[in-house]
Amino acid sequence: MNTKGLLLSLTLVLWARAKLGSAEANAACKTPCSCVTRIGKIVNYHAARLKTAKQNYDTNIRDLLRLFLATLQADAAEKPKLLPVLASAGGALEACRTALAQEEADQPMISAAMSALAKTYTIYNSLIKKTSTLTLTADGSGHFKNTGIAGSVTHENATASCQEEGKEEENTKITDTNVQQEPDLPELAITGVTTLTCKKESSSPATCSSNTITNGGEIKAVIKHQTAAATQSTASWSSNTMTPGAILVTEVKLTGDNKTNVDAAMKKIKGSKVHLKCGTLLTSYSTVATNDEFKRLVLKALLGKQDNEKTSAESVAEYNKAIKEAYGEGGTDYEAKVWTKVKATQAEINKGDDAGNEPLETIDTLDKLTAAIARKINKDLTEAARPKAENKIESEREKGCTEETDKAKCNKKTGCKYNEKDSKCQEDPAQATATAPPTTNTNTTGNNSFVINKTPLLLAVFVSRIRLLRFIGKSFLPHFIKFIKYGILNGFDRLI
């Protein structure tokens, strides 16, 4: 990638970060119904975040096994670029595992707190949707008897369930970029309003304040709950129109510990790092590039500094050059140079009665991946245990040296030399190897020097002795047999 391309990429990254950082916070929910909807969105966000973290962790586990097997099978040129990635993989997985464990531990508490407050809001919603009316009607004597008691309950909605009014929550979203700014869920205390009216008779609106109740007169109580505040008043009780009547106000607050628990739950949601620790995959260069073990192994494996334990190179230019050659400029070719090759690596797996090879990308279960690793290691062990071809001449030479204990005889033996320090006869490293032409020694007896090739000489002596034995056998043996026969027939004493 050229400089212009790098600058453009950097500009886009910075622009994207600025946009993410400037994510607008949601407004606080205002009604019981909208707050129930908001809780549902918070719970769904948290569940989705946890699910994604688990999926990423599982994906990284499988990719780690693929990477390990590919590293085992890689040649000497490919291994060094895989080792830094392998070294850093554990750190990325451990960070995710720790965050994931904490998130899973918090999940029951968060779920219970959100559910309890949502139920409270649902009760509030049910109350504000109801209007209850109680009417007491006098009989002909002006008395309020049980036959004159009547009551009714009406709902603004067909049911008392939470049915959101308007679309104020429709566009509300909870995301990684705005969850930190999410406002607290409100306490939402509601107000109970009871309105009392009275008229002296059915045909007259005159109040009961200064009139005697007669036939058909009534006292009515209307009970409602609302989120808005209300003012208590009895001033209109004496009015003939009885509007609005006497108003009695009661505050209803049912949240109790539910609000406190939800505040604690929201603190955990906002403080969680699971979406950061588990948000990236091993196939992304950013996941491994900042890891200390990655840096150490770049210096060891790619730059040959085997004794290094530092996380920074003495030469930044040298480090960047190694990164560029292995993974592309700034890691831009990391996926292609590492993971494309890793996933294309062929691995042996069981296929019923036979074994067969498949690319690692298509092997997606843990049992098959670990079995493939075991098969590779087993194959390597089998190969290592297979007897190697032995250099027979070299072996015999070594054996001939070690069996000799006399110093003078050792030094006279071909290919041997007496070790003064260890007081033993051993192979002379200065002599030619077994595959070289036969060793020649120079005899410098007196002033005359001549070269004797010992191998042909010994062979000639051996052959001459064989010929001598054959000659003796042919010449002497028949006469010896005749001598024995004569002695047996005539007695050996006659020969003496």
- C-alpha–C-alpha distance, residues 76 and 144, integer Å: 103
Q: Closest by alpha carbon to 289, among 79, 99, 88?
A: 88
CA pair distance 153, 426, nearest whole angstrom: 112
**CA-to-CA distance for 118 and 239, rounded, in angstroms?**
43
For residue range 280-338, list pLDDT tens digits in order: 999 999 999 999 999 999 999 999 999 999 999 889 999 999 999 999 999 999 999 99
Terminal Cα-to-Cα distance of the chain (whole angstroms) = 114
Following DSSP, what letter does each residue of 346-392 receive, concatenated? EEEEEETTEEEEEEGGG--SHHHHHHHHHHHHHHHHHHHHSPPPP-H
- 21 pLDDT band, cuts 50/70/90, is very low
Residue 493 has pLDDT above 80, yes or no: no
Between 212 and 54, name the one with better pLDDT. 54
Question: Quick one: pLDDT at residue 448?
Answer: 44
Which carries the bigger pLDDT value, residue 115 or residue 410?
115
Tokens of 399: 């054996």
Instruction: Look up residue 404 and give its amino acid.
Output: E
Q: Where are the alpha helices (DSSP H) in 213-301?
A: 257-271, 274-277, 285-289, 292-297
| Separation between Cα atoms, residue 69 and residue 343, nearest integer Å | 10
- For residues 245-272, average pLDDT: 92
Closest-CA residue to 406 (of 428, 426, 425): 425
- Span 293-304, pLDDT tens digits: 999 999 999 999
Please determine, for residue 439, whether its predicted confidence score (pLDDT) is greater than 50. Answer: no
| Residue range 143-177, pLDDT digits in tens | 888 888 988 877 665 455 566 555 778 889 999 99
- Give the single-character DSSP code of 279: S
Mean pLDDT over the full length of the chain: 82
Residue 258, pLDDT > 50, answer yes
Q: How far is CA 438 from CA 393, 399, 401, 431, in A?
A: 11, 18, 17, 10
Contact 374, 398 (CB under 8 A): no
Q: What is the mean pLDDT of residues 398-426?
A: 82
> Is pLDDT of 62 > 60?
yes
Q: Which has the closest alpha carbon to 34: 138, 139, 192, 164?
A: 164
Return the percentage of the chain with pLDDT > 70, whole number: 77
For residues 70 and 82, the answer to whether their CB atoms sit within 8 Å is yes
CA-to-CA dists, residue 126 to 133, 195, 221, 315, angstroms = 16, 19, 19, 71
Phi and psi torsions of 336, nearest 5° = -70, -40
CA distances from 201 to 142, 208, 212, 315 (A): 9, 9, 9, 102
Q: How far is CA 327 from the centre of its chain?
A: 22
Distance CA 324, CA 334 (A): 9
pLDDT at residue 161, rounded to an integer? 59
Residue-wise pLDDT for 452-464, tens only, equals 444 554 555 444 5
pLDDT in tens, 64-78: 999 999 999 999 999
Kindly report the number of other CB atoms within 10 A of residue 40's CB atom: 15
**C-alpha 158: how far from its chain's center?**
50
What pLDDT was estimated at residue 169?
Answer: 83
Q: How many residues are given for the chain?
A: 496
CA distance 253 to 189: 5
User: What distance in Å separates the CA atoms of residue 372 and residue 349, rounded to the nearest whole number?
Assistant: 6
Residue 411: band (very low, low, confident or very high) from pLDDT cuts 50, 70, 90: confident
Q: Is the pLDDT of residue 393 over 70?
A: no
pTM for this prediction: 0.66
Taking residues 418-428, report their average pLDDT: 85
Cross-strand partners of 134? 151, 221
